[in-house]
Structure 1
Amino acid sequence: MSIEQLNEQFGIDNIVTFTTGKGDLPCIEVKSPLATATVYLHGAHLTHWQPTGEEPVLFMNSASWFEDGKPIRGGVPICFPWFGPHLVDENMPAHGIVRVKAWDVESIAQDNAGNIVITLATESNDETYELWPFEFKTRFVITVGKTLSMSLQTQNTDDKELKITEALHSYFSV
């Protein structure tokens, strides 16, 4: 979906805008009276959250890559279906397979308190199946306001039992 189509379908006038971010990757920019935030569709990666009148909360590595196939460093990367190095194969990507995958926008809404609720989703496909032979759907819900809430939910859509570890590997400014 193009930036224009994303804005038309999910944008909220003067509050939520889809733009082309660093490395020409699509991202969501939130500028509300409560906070600002930036979320890249690449890895469903939250790279910025700043409550109004406060300092930015998340740390971003200045040497971070913003390109397809490479993980963004800092912010809140999603680790799934394993955290850290793969337990059996050291050639597998650290922290799993979804942090370098393009995620889909499921919905964006503003709640009664003025918080922006962003729901992103991804699922298994031929590319993920080559690295991890299971079927799944994963949803990431981010609520941006004076406080930040994040929820990661995974559904097993396979006939096989899934054993996973997952994390929202948050990097905070200190």
Structure 2
Amino acid sequence: MNIEELNKNHGIDGQVKFMEGAGGFPFIRVDNAKGGAVISVYGGQVLSFQPANEQNLMFLSEAAYYEAGKGIKGGAPVCWPWFGPDPQQQGRPVHGFVRTRLWNVIKTETTGNGDSKVTLGLSDTAETRAIWPHAFDLDLEVTVGNSLNLELITRNKDTAPFSITQALHTYFKVGHIDRITILGLEGVSYLDKVDNYAQKTQAGAITINSEVDRIYQDVQKELVIDDTAYDRRIRIQSSDSRTAVVWNPWARISAQMGDLKDDDYEHFVCVETANAGSEVVEVAAGGECRVAANYLIERNIPELKPAA
């Protein structure tokens, strides 16, 4: 992709600028009066979001790979058309194939309330059909304002239905993992991937003091990460999703990962808006489905308490 042409066709003076990023990938820098973001066209992936006068919402590993065929560790990777291991055990990539593809820039715009909106897209090719034999259009709409809004839209171009699982695999930056509480999942059933997918029920609010990899089922539309180290709360509102994934690799796995520093696990948690586990979405021929998440940083609000 030619950076000069991208700026000519899609740049917005003072708001949206294209530049060469790490690994030579095209990056999009979004800035407006409300906040800023960096988006990688490779992977269709938001790498950072920083509301005005705030710290970054997202964690991005300093050891992340910026190489074709590898995912970028941090930000908000898109898992599609499956979440987790290859559901048919054919040796295909974990979390699907779109996070390691160069997307297309579809549109950039300024909304009526001054937010900046970037739409990226990916369509099937002979290469993708060899991996997953379906015709599709996939769009990611990124809206940057006081909050960050992500909406992933799947369109089935086939003559038969297909099924997907998916996730917005967002890495949230936290002051320290032992000073966060995740609220909104009290009493919810989950699959514990660390314990061989055992079915369990969340007792109270979530605190993390060891490896956590859970798929929560039939979740409510709003979750909160209460971060006392940063004295802030991250409010996550989702739509068209009944599944939430909570992940932190803890010390051993973090040390084993080449694209994480040994102590990185202390500074992020993934709380993912998803259709995963038993929530499989069937998309009709010619139809579409959507999943969306909105992330808002809050300060100076009354103390939150877990649900009874």
2:257 is matched with: none
More strand as a share of residues: 2
Distance 2:71 2:39 in 1: 14
1:13 is matched with: 13
Considering only aligned residues, what root-mean-square deviation do their CA atoms show, in Å? 1.0
Quick check: 1:116–1:144 contact (8 Å CA) kept in 2?
Answer: yes
Matched, 1:82 2:82: yes
Q: CA shift at 1:88, angstroms? A: 2.2
1:157 is matched with: 157
Structure 1 or 2, whichever has the larger Rg, is 2
1:114 is matched with: 114
2:115 counterpart letter in structure 1:
N
TM-score (norm: length of structure 1): 0.97
Q: CA shift at 1:90, angstroms? A: 5.6
Distance 1:123 1:146 in 2: 30
Q: CA shift at 1:14, angstroms? A: 2.0
1:66 counterpart letter in structure 2:
Y
1:91 is matched with: 91
1:161-172 pair list within 5 angstroms: 161-172=161-172
The count of corresponding residues between Structure 1 and Structure 2 is 174
Q: CA shift at 1:6, angstroms? A: 0.4
SS state at 2:127 partner = helix
1:63 is matched with: 63
> Higher RCO, 1 or 2 (CA under 8 Å, sep at least 6)?
1
2:10 counterpart letter in structure 1:
F
SS state at 2:46 partner = strand
2:24 counterpart letter in structure 1:
D
Q: Any runs of at least 4 consecutive aligned residues in structure 1 with deviations exceeding 2 A, and if so which?
A: none
Distance 1:55 1:44 in 2: 23
TM-score (norm: length of structure 2): 0.55
Distance 2:70 2:117 in 1: 27
Q: CA shift at 1:150, angstroms? A: 0.7
1:24 is matched with: 24
1:47 is matched with: 47
1:142 counterpart letter in structure 2:
V
Distance 2:152 2:15 in 1: 24
1:133 counterpart letter in structure 2:
P
Q: CA shift at 1:108, angstroms? A: 0.4
Distance 2:28 2:20 in 1: 9
2:98 counterpart letter in structure 1:
V
5+ residue gaps, structure 2, are 175-308
Identity among equivalent positions (%) equals 38
SS state at 1:7 partner = helix
Q: CA shift at 1:72, angstroms? A: 0.7
Distance 1:24 1:131 in 2: 26
Q: CA shift at 1:160, angstroms? A: 2.4
5+ residue gaps, structure 1, are none
Quick check: 1:10–1:107 contact (8 Å CA) kept in 2?
Answer: yes
Quick check: 1:134–1:160 contact (8 Å CA) kept in 2?
Answer: no
Distance 1:128 1:89 in 2: 17
1:94 counterpart letter in structure 2:
V
1:136 counterpart letter in structure 2:
F
Quick check: 1:110–1:117 contact (8 Å CA) kept in 2?
Answer: yes
Quick check: 1:18–1:29 contact (8 Å CA) kept in 2?
Answer: yes
